Amino acid sequence: METHISCLFPEILAMIFSYLDVRDKGRVAQVCTAWRDASYHKSVWRGVEAKLHLRRANPSLFPSLQARGIRRVQILSLRRSLSYVIQGMPNIESLNLSGCYNLTDNGLGHAFVQEIPSLRVLNLSLCKQITDSSLGRIAQYLKNLEVLELGGCSNITNTGLLLIAWGLHRLKSLNLRSCRHVSDVGIGHLAGMTRSAAEGCLSLEYLTLQDCQKLTDLSLKHISKGLTKLKVLNLSFCGGISDAGMIHLSHMTSLWSLNLRSCDNISDTGIMHLAMGTLRLSGLDVSFCDKIGDQSLAYIAQGLYQLKSLSLCSCHISDDGINRMVRQMHELRTLNIGQCVRITDKGLELIADHLTHLTGIDLYGCTKITKRGLERITQLPCLKVLNLGLWQMTESEKTEILGLYT
């Protein structure tokens, strides 16, 4: 007896359709009635984010999304009121408005007029007209929010952080990248240092403060005291923090990833403070910290030997520093030493001999390495990613090395 695909149960069709990309999920719904019915099964659309251009009224849009169980939405362009989305999807879980430059406090205020308990994720990155006023609305009506993206919202101030600290007690992830007006006072609000006014966001696990230029070591003191559940902290390009601030971070036992990229005042002394504490970091990035040298690698080997990822791009390290580090770093999987121009083949040989579990290495711009050192690196048994970038070699050498790698 011949069996045709049309004979499959709707549940089996739905299982098959769930493996298709979003565009093909929509296409199979147009084949026939049976496929359309199967394609509308909520399991087919589980986890899918609808990407919408809100240009003109479409009465069937939101009923269609709800019928499929879609609760995550990204707005690619916003020419209608945001309230159109909120009213159409009362059970929305995730709302991505990243890059909607025309979104204003007024527009957001008209949308958030009552509690939306289902909303867990809100992305307002690069919504440059948003101010503290909008954060007041968010803190009032989005009490269950867990993820808030405010990267590039340059009008946010410490007052906005006070409002977040007052209303968003379940927040786990907060991105404040390039919020240039935020200072130590605002971080104190988040960390619960002003309990009389706001409890704080004490459940935060992921905090991005990249390029917040007004922050000093006092912010790190607040973080270490109040945000004890923090797992990931991004302080890249925060020029106001120094070695002394690392003392505060050195006993944050929940912290497993620390980004200090381009923090100009971090030196070997700061790494010493981190290594002498009780940290259990698995990821550390000190790239472009030009005061980091070989002594830092010795400290890392002594106290941060459990690292799985280490980025040292453009640091003043040499083969001697590599020699002082490699024998203790048994867990290291990713090593980025691009533009470390003092590294030679000797350093690569040490890496190849001792860091045998490496899966990725960045050698971009390491101008003193040769074919001999690269041949050793390509023999690492677990290596999957090798970035050579600006390394100078002849075309024939390049072809030969890449042939070895593949």
In this predicted structure, the answer to whether residue 25 has a pLDDT above a threshold of 70 is: no
Which is nearest to 124 in space by CA: 84, 163, 176, 79?
A: 176
Indicate the domain borders of the chain: 1-45, 48-226, 241-405
Whole-angstrom distance, CA of residue 210 vs CA of residue 86: 31
Q: Find where tokens 């905090």 sit.
A: 207
CA distance 320 to 246: 25
Asked if pLDDT for residue 49 goes beyond 70, the answer is: yes
* Cα gap 402→378, rounded to integer Å: 9
CA distance linking residue 28 with residue 170, whole number of Å = 40
Query: Domain 48-226: which CATH class?
Result: alpha beta
Interval 41-48 mean pLDDT: 64
- What per-residue confidence (pLDDT) applies to 56? 72
Mean pLDDT of 310-319: 97
| Contact between residue 371 and residue 347 where contact means Cβ atoms under 8 Å apart | no
Judged by average pLDDT, the poorest of 49-58, 90-99, 103-112, 362-371 is: 49-58
**Mean pLDDT along residues 190-209:** 95
3-state helix, strand, coil in the chain (%, to 5): 35, 15, 50
pLDDT of 324 above 60: yes
The distance in angstroms from the start CA to the end CA of the chain is 48
Per-residue pLDDT at 42: 60
Q: Which of 16, 30, 111 lies closest to 73 in space, CA to CA?
A: 111
- Name the percent of the chain lying above pLDDT 70: 88
Confidence at residue 305, expressed as pLDDT on a 0 to 100 scale? 96
| Other CB atoms within 10 Å distance of the CB of residue 92 | 22
pLDDT digits (tens, 9 = 90+) for 286-301: 999 999 999 999 999 9
pLDDT digits (tens, 9 = 90+) for 79-104: 778 888 888 888 899 999 999 989 99
Regarding the domain delimited by 241-405, which CATH topology (the fold level of the hierarchy) does it fall under? 3.80.10
Instruction: Say which CATH architecture domain 1-45 belongs to.
Output: Up-down Bundle (1.20)
Specify the pLDDT at position 27.
76
In this prediction, residue 80 carries a pLDDT of: 75
Tens-place pLDDT, residues 143-181: 999 999 999 999 999 999 999 999 999 999 999 999 999
pLDDT digits (tens, 9 = 90+) for 203-256: 999 999 999 999 999 999 999 999 999 999 999 999 999 999 999 999 999 999
At residue 362, the pLDDT reads 96
At residue 18, the pLDDT reads 64
Asked if 48-226 and 241-405 have one fold, the answer is yes
Is residue 244 a contact partner of residue 219, using CB atoms and an 8 Å limit?
no
Q: Cα(33)–Cα(372) distance, rounded to whole angstroms? A: 64
